[in-house]
Amino acid sequence: MLVIVAPGQGAQTPGFLIPWLEDPVFRSRFEWLSAVAGIDLVHYGTEADAETIRDTRIAQPLLVAAGLVAALELFPHPAEAFGKIGAVAGHSVGELTAAVGARAITAEQAMVLVRERGNAMAEAAAVRPTSMTAVLGGDRDEVLAAIAKHGLTPANDNGPGQIVAAGTVEQLEAFAADAPAKARLMPLSVAGAFHTEHMAPAVSHLASLAKSVSTHDPRAVVISNADGQVLHDGREVVSRIVGQIARPVRWDLCMETMRDLGVTGVLEMPPAGTLTGIIKRQLKGVETFALKTPDQLDDARAFCQRHGEQSQIETTPTWRVVVSPAKGTFHLDKDAAHAEELDAACTIGQVSSLRDHTDVRAAHGGTVVEWLVEDGDLVSPGQPLLRLHPKGAA
């Protein structure tokens, strides 16, 4: 089983896009996403120094755009990717990259969201001096107890021996003076205490924007940062992306889920190396591939071919849902009401309002599993009306 992962902020390095942008197709696609975000990402990926691209407002769009365009290089025919990808996951802002890869949202929607996410998080970080410190080694329980003692948040839990504490500068200074036994502290060069309560204003801003984002149910399993749960609903994918701004990243639980799913290979999108490094240490026996430069693409495709298998979402659906196309009163078709089997494109009823009357059709047909509404019920747009078992499904 193949899992594709996307890194979070901090993975970027000066000039990492130079070899990628030599390809005119990559460059044109990247310039398009730059235009959507309203940021000169070509400049930041080639000429800007480390301090400049550390800025949250630059780093986040840069990472997402790089991952999205590289994915099109890896899978020139995106529909074919779902015959290989078992699951996707992203660390922090990488969840936006993963959501696009699973087709839950579009690349353009992701670029608008990541631009606003970066801006809002930078503004939240400017309210009060905050930062983050990596805690390497030490007893896990003792490390977590020490973090809590000083009022800090374990903002990133990347598995045994790799926890990131976040909070105010004063709290981190006190923590450094009272470090847990056998643990090494490494202050991080970040602009604020991400994935903590200090980012709450950014959550509110992004939640407001996310209401207008149209979503689709993902075509590959999405593993959530929040708790490692598998997501199948597009709206929940976006909701969790919004909420994780102020919630800890539980990459340790994501890796547990990968193990439970039976992962055999993990490929990390550029700028790669951070997540595959963690996975090598925590998921023994799982092969990894860090895609860093375009000259690795042929080997990366071979890696995907070796580990890939058809997504379970795509090949073994147990039922399909017919939903309401509009708001109004649902009138059940008399023939459909008594049928055990429905043909594709047949009419199952009608939704009526003061403005119009809309026929509801079962696009795929199949065996009736369960009616979710009754004749005369008020329904809203997108409300599930009927479950069908697809014809030909096992």
Active site residues: 92, 195
Per the listing, tokens 């079962």 go with 362
Q: Which two tokens stand for residue 378?
A: 């008020």
* Residue pair 107/33 in contact by the 8 Å Cβ criterion: yes
Using CB atoms within 10 Å of the CB of residue 335, give its burial: 0 to 12 exposed, 13 to 18 middle, 19+ buried.
exposed
Give the separation between CA 58 and CA 39, rounded to whole angstroms. 8
H or E segment at 371?
strand 366-371
Write the CB contacts of 328 (distance below 8 Å, at least 6 apart in sequence).
Answer: 351, 352, 353, 358, 378, 379
* Residue pair 106/195 in contact by the 8 Å Cβ criterion: no
Q: Which two tokens stand for residue 7?
A: 């890194």
Q: Which two tokens stand for residue 358?
A: 């809309």
Give the separation between CA 192 and CA 198, rounded to whole angstroms. 8
* Beta strands in 311-371, from DSSP E residues, in sequence order: 320-323, 328-332, 341-342, 346-352, 357-362, 366-371
* Residue pair 304/269 in contact by the 8 Å Cβ criterion: no
Residue type, 64: V
DSSP 3-state assignment of 156? strand
